[in-house]
Each structure stands twice: as C-alpha cells, then as structure tokens.
Structure 1
Amino acid sequence: MKKNCPRFKGADLLSGYLLLFLKQQPTHGYLLSTKLKNLGFEITDPAIIYRHLKKMENFGLIYSKIHPGKDGPPKKVFYITDDGKNYLKEIIRNIENRIIVLKQFLNEYERSENNEDSNSVN
C-alpha cells in the first residue's frame, strides 16, 4: 500500500528546497545541510535534515544509494524520484497561489492606509 504524500503547509519550504537541490544534482546529506544553512535555515542539529530525508524516502519522493568515499567513509547519496518531481511541482503551485493571496492582502492593506489618510482630520 502506497503512503499518501504529505500536503504542503505554508512554511514547509524544507521539502521543497531538498527536492529542488536533488533535482539539480544527487548529493549527500551534509552538502544539502550546508546549502540550506547558506540560504538562512537555522539548522542546529544536522539529524533534523537526515530525519526529514528519511521521511521523504519513506513517501517515495527520494531514494538513496551508498557510494564509497574518495578520502573517507562511504556516503549516502540521495536522488529525486518521479513522485518527488511531481510533488515539487505541487509545492511550486501552492507557493504561487500563496503569493497571489499575500499580494491581495498587501494591496488591500495599502488601500486601507490610503483611505485612512484621506479620511483623517487635520
């Protein structure tokens, strides 16, 4: 029985970024963690990333293979699956829809500020 993919939640950019990075190039967890830190993610415990990758692997969004290390121990390299690519597209659509809603909110706020300024008594 195939598990259902978790739905995108507003702040769940972590899955989106991990899938995007893996779509660009299969890689290991340490490099993924470094890329996220460079984007401003506060990763206090790298195990968080590995747990998230394991969860994504359980949902069939990614898979991993062990590759021998050149100068060290073997590394687990992660790859995106077709389901992962489809889920990434779903995340993108949800982000685009959220951007529309947020822009509408900002426009409404600006209108209310303009109305307030025009209605103020000096």
Structure 2
Amino acid sequence: MGKQMTEMLKGTLEGVVLALLAEQPAYGYEITTRLRDHGFADIAEGTIYALLVRIEQKSLVDVEKVPSEKGPPRKVYSLNPQGRDELEEFWKSWNFLAQHIEQLNTTTNNKEN
C-alpha cells in the first residue's frame, strides 16, 4: 500500500470499523478478518487493536468479555448509541468529501481532455 493510501486510511479507519460493528458485534481478530474480506488486506492486527482501545475510551462501543475456547476471554465490541451517532457523522463527512472530490476529479479530467 502506498504512503498516500496509508495516510488516507488512517483518517477513515475508525469509521470503517464502526461500520463493521454496526453490521454485527465482533472481537479484534474477527474485525481484522472482515476488513481483509472487504479488501483492506494490508492492515496490521496491531493497528486494529490500538483503534479498538481508542473507540472504547471514547465510549463508542460496549464491550463484553466472552469465554474463549483457547486462552483468555475475548472482548466482543458492539456499537452503542454514541457510536451510532459517530458513525452517522462519519458517513455525512464521507459523502460530502466524496462528492466534492469527485467534482474536482471530473473537472480536472475534462480540462485534460
């Protein structure tokens, strides 16, 4: 993944993870796997675990410890009402940016042709 893509992803990854949790609760490894299933193959597990700590500290998720077949209990994250509000704001911001960036792209491409 290029540096520009990495920087863009840093700014949106929290929203992406909140969107995954809106679909269904999950634990850290599950989130990483689902991200990879959606094409985000280069994201390190450590990045996701650090993000989960941040969204938990920001009270955007509820956390339940669930027994694991192997090792310590897993922390299962589910989106709470504050997290849903944050996700809604993320989508509003994303849609605004995507629309305006696409307008710039279209304008620039038309001028080049």
Q: Report the TM range for the smaller structure's normalisation.
A: 0.7 to 0.9
Superposed, 1:1-122 pairs within 5 Å as: 11=9, 12-41=11-40, 42-44=42-44, 46-69=45-68, 71-73=69-71, 74-114=73-113
Q: CA deviation at 1:107?
A: 2.2
Kindly state the Cα deviation for residue 39 of structure 1 after the two structures are TM-superposed. Answer: 2.5
Identity of aligned residues (%): 27
For residue 72 of structure 1, give the secondary structure of its aligned residue in structure 2. coil
Q: Which has the larger radius of gyration?
A: 1
Q: Distance in 1 between matches of 2:105 and 2:43?
A: 31
CA drift of 1:13 comes to 2.3
CA-CA distance at 1:25 after TM superposition: 0.9
Higher share of residues assigned helix? 2
Q: CA deviation at 1:96?
A: 0.6
Number of matched pairs: 104
TM-score, normalization: structure 2? 0.81
- Provide the secondary structure at the position in 2 that maps to 1:63: strand
Letter in 2 for 1:110: N
Name segments (4+ residues, structure 1) moved above 3 Å: none
Q: Distance in 2 between matches of 1:33 and 1:111?
A: 39
Output one character per residue of 1:21-49: Cα deviation in whole Å (capped at 9) or x when no partner.
111111111100111122232123x1221
SS state of the match for residue 66, structure 1?
A: strand
Unaligned runs of 5+ in 1: 1-8, 115-122
**Separation of aligned partners in 2, 1:26 and 1:108:** 41
For structure 2, list consecutive stretches of 5 or more residues without a partner in the other structure.
1-6
Distance 2:66 2:92 in 1: 34
